[in-house]
Structure 1
Amino acid sequence: MTTFDIPTTSRAAVLTEHGAPLELREVPVPQELEAGALLVRIEAATVCGSDLHLWDGSLAGSQALDLPVIPGHEMVGSIIAFGDGAERDTFGAPLKLGDRICFTHASCGQCDHCRFDNQPTLCTNRQYYMFTNCSRPPYLVGGFSEYVYVFPNSGRVRVPDEVPTSWASAASCALRTVVHSFERIGKLNPWDTVVIQGAGPLGLFATALADHLGAGRIVTIGAPDDRLAIAKQYGATDVVSVFEHPEPDDRVAAVRSILDGAGAEVVFEFSGARTAFTEGLGMIKEGGRYMVTGQIDGPGKEVPVRPGFITRQQLTIMGTWSGHIAEYRKALHFMKIARDTYDFGALVPNRYALEDATEALSRMRAQEDIKPVITPHGTGGS
């Protein structure tokens, strides 16, 4: 095992009760690493909407939870220790101590989803950061911590030198999920109109990627106004404010008005709003494609749908869950080549110390911060 000095404990912000303030704890640091594992020093952990749902308990409808856990799965860490055989990333590039990496949840590599279907995000035996109990080894299984244990089966990729740490952290969930969604929905053409439901991190990243890929017209729906301003900077040709159009039918009518009564060839749902799916069906063109990414399952999430409408309109409807290491690498590459075109720093302007993690969650929930950045070793950094 190749290492820097390994500390014996790590400070971590721990969720012990849904809705309660996170508890700052000293968590044991594993002194021996499994073959293929890594130990990293967290340089930045950005807050994801899933962290909010974990905190308030609403994620329990779609994911088994066993508290206490350390929230956070969007993160960049610098390597401080290698387990045997872990000196290369998933794509064969050499890694060294101090390198910044992004890394995935750990798929088993053995089930049908991993081997036969080539869809490792559906792995039935997946090890997850932020959902794994932190009172048992390997303990450091969430990003709101000074150090994190990288599972042996976690994909990992080195962060390009040109990509700032906070950007890369946001890429490691929000942007890689967007990349996965775009890959599943298929090619965008210059004559296509794209509607993006949501002006949070996913919706804004999607706006930039749709622009980069050459969509002819992009309508981004969301709020508040400062986020819609970023959407315009990222290439949205039109925006629809949910404050100005508070009812679902109003938003459908607004999009149809912008498009002269027509629908869009492609609609992406990144909002998570309960009514978004049925709204999206009202915004789509006959024969169009609909990608649903922002929804979580659970009680109270049901909405009425007329299946015959889908049949008659000959729609293609798909869903996306998470992302695997190829999407991480592509997301980082997009940031690298597009860094001078889109100000990705506008999504991650604010830094929070580890002891302020609850404040970061609260500010994101109140839409006062688009994507807070937790820096466990200080509030500076890129």
Structure 2
Amino acid sequence: MHPRSTRAAVLTEFGGTLDVVRIPLPAELPAGAAIVRITRATLCGTDALLWRGALPFARLPMVLGHEMAGEVVSLGAGADRDAQGRPVTVGTRLVWSESVCGHCHGCTVLREPVLCAERGYGFAQRADRWPYAIGGLAEYAYLPPGAHRLVLADSMPDHWAASAGCAVKTVLRAFANGGGVTPGSTVVVQGSGPLGVVATAVARAAGAGHVIVVGGPADRLALVEKFGADSTIDVTEVTDPDERVAQVEELTGARGAELVLDFAGAPTANREGVLMCAKRGTHVVVGLTGPDAAPVPLDVVLSRELRVVGSLNGDVGDLARGLDFLSAFADRFDWDAMFSAPVGLSGAERAIRDLASMVAVKAVVNPALDQEALS
């Protein structure tokens, strides 16, 4: 038996409070579904955008949080194996991907789960409609049948695993879609948030000769330097996009970068990214620029024979590689330096606000902390 309801931090007004209330959990579990107790949720920039109401697909009320790890409390029929065939039982620690339908063109013909026509992002689920609780800012969450899951190693911390559910897998997919890093090449990372921090580490670990990070504020740039950035450009000081391009040109001897990845989503990011590319370079678009995006200079794309590639989130394969990456480089990179001290659900609103104001890089929520405070 599993709980029939859960405490959750629910957003009912964009830019407003997160109210900790009880919402239902499905009484019956379809085949392949599960209920988990959330052990950690980590927040990313998308959560801050959703909280502000900056994304058009957001619907209220909602439970924010799409990076989470949890412990199984109930399983539907046929949910006793993870995506790699390992046994799953009550008590198993898991991380999981967004649900996919398995039968659309994206799933079957393209064989790309990220292009599923019915992909089930937690933030697309209203908290007042079945199945209610899919987001991470809750004590318990519902795992739909199509949410591919992975068993966690005992050595994998919950907050690291949670961050792999979006930030890490998104970065690894972006590098893969961009063709990877040529040893000794120059890589420009646009953005110094959690994705930018992880991307800096990936570029360094992959053998980049020069890693340039364009972002801000100063404390975040100091952090990316710890993760391997050779040069940084502070957008709060260098406010002119053309000047930022000029600085990259100077840093690369007017050659440009072989690989430029946009994890910033700023209105001028893609224009800048293309202009920062070397001949035959690649610009990978990950950030959401919004309706006021500056035009991309297609004449530069043509004359330099550039590749401009889109990269959308990641699938369960990227998630598995993300867990492996965090484990393999645990001795080289101080992953914990990204994360804030965990708070309970009652502190989730403050965590979101800290993220939105760039006080925090990677906020962490542990729902159990509220119960511990009451006991």
Q: Name the TM-score, length of structure 2 as normaliser.
A: 0.96
1:151, CA displacement in angstroms?
Answer: 0.4
Deviations 1:233-287 (A, max 9, x none): 2111212222331221121111111112220000011012111111111211011
Letter in 1 for 2:107: C
Equivalent-residue separation in structure 1 for 2:181 and 2:21 (angstroms): 47
Q: Superposition pairs for residues 135-284 of structure 1, below 5 Å?
A: 135-284=128-277
Equivalent-residue separation in structure 1 for 2:235 and 2:297 (angstroms): 24
Q: Is the 8 A contact 2:203 2:211 kept in 1?
A: yes
1:380, CA displacement in angstroms?
Answer: 11
Aligned to 2:306: 315
1:379, CA displacement in angstroms?
Answer: 6.9
Equivalent-residue separation in structure 2 for 1:128 and 1:305 (angstroms): 29
Q: Superposition pairs for residues 283-322 of structure 1, below 5 Å?
A: 283-297=276-290, 299=291, 301-322=292-313
Letter in 1 for 2:4: T
Structure 1 position 376 matched with structure 2 position 367: yes
Match of 2:315 among 299, 324, 327: 324
Q: Is the 8 A contact 2:11 2:19 kept in 1?
A: yes
Match of 1:73 among 63, 66, 83: 66
Letter in 2 for 1:15: L
Aligned to 1:353: 344
Aligned to 1:15: 11
Q: Is the 8 A contact 1:348 1:371 kept in 2?
A: yes
Q: 1:379 to 1:207 in 2, by over 3 A?
A: farther
What is the percentage of aligned positions where both structures have the same residue?
38
Equivalent-residue separation in structure 1 for 2:191 and 2:298 (angstroms): 24
Equivalent-residue separation in structure 2 for 1:124 and 1:305 (angstroms): 28
Letter in 2 for 1:11: R
SS of equivalent to 1:43? strand
Which structure 2 segments of 5+ residues have no match?
Answer: none
Aligned to 1:46: 42
Q: 1:131 to 1:170 in 2, by over 3 A?
A: same
SS of equivalent to 2:70? strand
Structure 1 position 339 matched with structure 2 position 335: no
Q: Superposition pairs for residues 100-119 of structure 1, below 5 Å?
A: 100-119=93-112
Q: Is the 8 A contact 1:353 1:375 kept in 2?
A: yes
Structure 1 position 27 matched with structure 2 position 23: yes
Deviations 1:48-81 (A, max 9, x none): 1111111111111xxx333211111011111111
Equivalent-residue separation in structure 2 for 1:186 and 1:313 (angstroms): 17
Between 244-253 and 78-87, report the one with greater CA deviation. Answer: 244-253
Equivalent-residue separation in structure 2 for 1:335 and 1:100 (angstroms): 17
Equivalent-residue separation in structure 2 for 1:306 and 1:348 (angstroms): 37
SS of equivalent to 1:378? helix
Letter in 2 for 1:241: D
Equivalent-residue separation in structure 2 for 1:377 and 1:322 (angstroms): 28
Equivalent-residue separation in structure 2 for 1:187 and 1:293 (angstroms): 15
The number of residue pairs the alignment matches comes to 372
Q: Is the 8 A contact 1:71 1:131 kept in 2?
A: no
1:358, CA displacement in angstroms?
Answer: 1.3
Equivalent-residue separation in structure 1 for 2:163 and 2:368 (angstroms): 18
Equivalent-residue separation in structure 1 for 2:32 and 2:188 (angstroms): 42
Q: 1:156 to 1:188 in 2, by over 3 A?
A: same
Equivalent-residue separation in structure 2 for 1:365 and 1:137 (angstroms): 29
SS of equivalent to 2:313? coil
1:178, CA displacement in angstroms?
Answer: 0.3
Letter in 2 for 1:102: V
Q: Is the 8 A contact 2:271 2:297 kept in 1?
A: no
Equivalent-residue separation in structure 2 for 1:380 and 1:83 (angstroms): 27
Structure 1 runs of 4+ with >3 Å offset:
none
1:137, CA displacement in angstroms?
Answer: 1.8
Equivalent-residue separation in structure 1 for 2:112 and 2:370 (angstroms): 37
Between 26-35 and 330-339, report the one with greater CA deviation. Answer: 26-35
